[in-house]
């Protein structure tokens, strides 16, 4: 029995920051949108991430998107009705050796022209600015306009803003079936009472995060995506001492202090409980705590009060899939952000909206085409599992 039927211009699967910001951008262009989210918008990666809003450290391929996102983050209140605790606090990437420092210098040289304004800081200046840093730090690179935000506030706010702008946002509505042909797409969701909800649209955005591979595979574009689960922890509040969000060259730990005094820490990998749920792993948290104390010795007295993780999609080259399907007209992909999609999410949403309206993006996205995973014509491709396999190594922020 069909309980409800929607006919729209664009249907979106997934209400993370990517799908929700696409819905908002599409409404601002005047297109009709229906977004289907199986849980609550922003309840997955987009709402449980570390909250790093940084451009520094990204590959050159992502910097145009990151710059576009940087501009959007700067007008968050006007766009989504909250600042989401977003601050341009600065992002400081720490070097623990001369080799790390040389690597930061090279990154600074290659990213000239992207307005990152990276400043290398060493020696007495480092100690004067960061008296709380442990002895292992030899220097670092400051991106003064990078920052941090509260993902629990920002990501759902994009969905609410899309709704206020006229998008139909259907939460607790899993997309169980997608049928696509040259006339467009029909999406079906069944509830426990056996009622079916149906959405019809000529355009479909695949924004299903770590679970997006299934839809891509259904339309002949399997991708080697794996799930990753960054380990996260937060301390009790301690007196405020640090404005910057910290990362370290080579990875291992990242850390920021919120206005209430708690330090949010990330690093290493948690584990999957099932295809949908993940948690931090005891070993990862033990290592994270040791690294935190090495980085900031005063943390030896701070209690960790909570740990968590999330489920994120990683492709082998750590670049997302963003662009039109090569096999199915009207299908547009935006997924696989490899632990770094929160900052670029709002720009990705705008790009997806441009692709839906114009068929092309005003920001370069050639590096992210799904065709890079196309199997050579002679080879056989194995079907991918709905629950992506987990990977041990995660990118760092
Ligand atoms: C612990 C952690 C820390 C991170 N830290 C940072 C950071 O500091 N900075 C940064 O830039 N990035 C960070 N990231 C990465 C960032 O959170 C993600 O790249 C980004 O949120 C991806 O957004 P998304 O909308 O693609 O995915 P998601 O937020 O996962 O949204 C996808 C949505 O699709 C829904 N969905 C899936 N299948 C269906 C279906 N069949 N029907 C309906 N809905 C469906 C899911 O329920 C989900 O809500 C982190 C990620 C994690 C997990």
> Which domains occur in the chain, in start order?
2-50+152-226+315-390 (3.50.50.60), 91-144+230-309 (3.30.9.10)
Long-range CB pairs of 274-277, under 8 A, 24+ apart, other chains included? 274/387, 275/211, 275/227, 275/311, 275/386, 275/387, 275/388, 276/311, 277/311
Distance 286 CA to ligand 1 centre (A): 25
- In short, whether 39's Cβ falls inside 6 Å of ligand 1 is yes
Q: Is the CB of 46 under 6 A from ligand 1?
A: yes
Per-residue model confidence (pLDDT) at position 379: 47
What's the gap in Å between 312 CA and the centre of ligand 1? 6
Ligand 1 within 6 A of CB of 307: no
The rounded distance, in Å, linking the Cα atoms of 199 and 6 is 5
Instruction: Determine whether the shortest distance from the Cβ of 96 to ligand 1 is under 6 A.
Output: no
Decide: 349 in ligand 1 pocket, CB within 6 A: no
Instruction: Give 3-state DSSP helix, strand, coil % of the chain, rounded to 5.
Output: 30, 25, 45
Q: What is the pLDDT of residue 200?
A: 98
Alpha carbon of 202 to ligand 1 centroid (Å)? 25
Q: Is 156 touching ligand 1 by the criterion CB < 6 Å?
A: no
The residue nearest atom 4 of ligand 1, judged by CA position, is 49
Residue to mutate, 11, 15, 16, ligand 1, most ligand atoms under 8 Å from C-beta: 16
Q: Which of 24, 44, 212 has most ligand 1 atoms within 8 Å of its beta carbon, as the pocket-test mutant?
A: 44
List the chain residues with pLDDT less than 70: 1-2, 377-397
Q: What is the pLDDT of residues 268-306, one digit of tens each?
A: 999 999 999 999 999 999 999 999 999 999 999 999 999
Q: pLDDT for 24-71, tens place per residue? A: 999 999 999 999 999 999 999 999 999 999 999 999 999 999 999 999
Here the contacts of 386-389 (C-beta below 8 Å, separation 24 or greater) are 386/211, 386/214, 386/275, 387/227, 387/274, 387/275, 388/210, 388/211, 388/213, 388/225, 388/226, 388/227, 388/275, 388/313, 389/226, 389/227
Provide the whole-model pTM: 0.95
> Looking at residue 376, what is its pLDDT?
74
**Which residue CA neighbors atom 37 of ligand 1 most closely?**
208
Q: Give the Å distance between the CA of 16 and the centre of ligand 1.
A: 6
Q: Is the CB of 270 under 6 A from ligand 1?
A: no
**What pLDDT, on the 0 to 100 scale, is given for residue 384?**
34
């Amino acid at each position: 029995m069909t309980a409800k039927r929607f006919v729209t211009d664009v249907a979106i699967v997934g209400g993370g920051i990517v799908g929700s910001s696409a819905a908002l951008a599409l409404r601002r262009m005047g297109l009709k949108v229906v977004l289907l989210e199986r849980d609550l918008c922003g309840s997955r990666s987009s709402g449980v991430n570390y909250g790093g809003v940084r451009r520094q450290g990204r590959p050159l391929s992502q910097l145009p998107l990151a710059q576009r996102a940087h501009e959007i983050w700067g007008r968050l209140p006007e766009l989504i009705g909250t600042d989401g605790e977003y601050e341009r606090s600065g992002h400081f990437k720490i070097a623990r050796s001369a080799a790390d420092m040389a690597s930061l210098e090279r990154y600074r040289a290659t990213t000239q022209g992207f307005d990152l304004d990276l400043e290398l800081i060493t020696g007495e200046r480092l100690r004067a600015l960061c008296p709380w840093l442990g002895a292992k730090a030899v220097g670092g690179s400051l991106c003064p306009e990078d920052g941090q935000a509260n993902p629990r506030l920002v990501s759902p706010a994009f969905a609410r803003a899309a709704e206020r702008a006229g998008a139909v946002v259907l939460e607790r509505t899993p997309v169980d079936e997608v049928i696509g042909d040259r006339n467009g797409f029909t999406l079906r969701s069944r509830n426990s009472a056996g009622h079916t909800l149906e959405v019809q649209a000529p355009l479909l955005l695949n924004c299903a995060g770590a679970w997006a591979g299934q839809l891509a595979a259904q339309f002949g574009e399997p991708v080697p995506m794996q799930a990753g689960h960054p380990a996260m922890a937060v301390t009790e509040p301690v007196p405020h001492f640090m404005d910057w969000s910290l990362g370290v060259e080579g990875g291992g730990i990242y850390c920021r202090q919120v206005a209430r005094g708690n330090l949010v820490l990330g690093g290493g990998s948690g584990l999957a409980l099932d295809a949908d749920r993940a948690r931090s792993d005891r070993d990862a948290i033990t290592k994270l705590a040791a690294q935190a104390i090495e980085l900031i010795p005063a943390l030896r007295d701070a209690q960790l009060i909570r740990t968590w993780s999330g489920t994120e999609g990683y492709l082998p080259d750590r670049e997302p899939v963003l662009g039109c399907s090569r096999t199915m007209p009207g299908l547009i992909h935006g997924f696989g952000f490899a632990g770094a999609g929160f900052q670029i999410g709002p720009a990705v949403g705008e790009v997806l909206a441009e692709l839906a309206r114009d068929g092309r993006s005003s920001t370069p996205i050639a590096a992210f085409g799904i065709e890079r995973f196309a199997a050579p014509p002679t080879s056989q491709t194995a079907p991918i599992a709905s629950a992506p396999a987990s990977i041990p190594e995660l990118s760092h922020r």
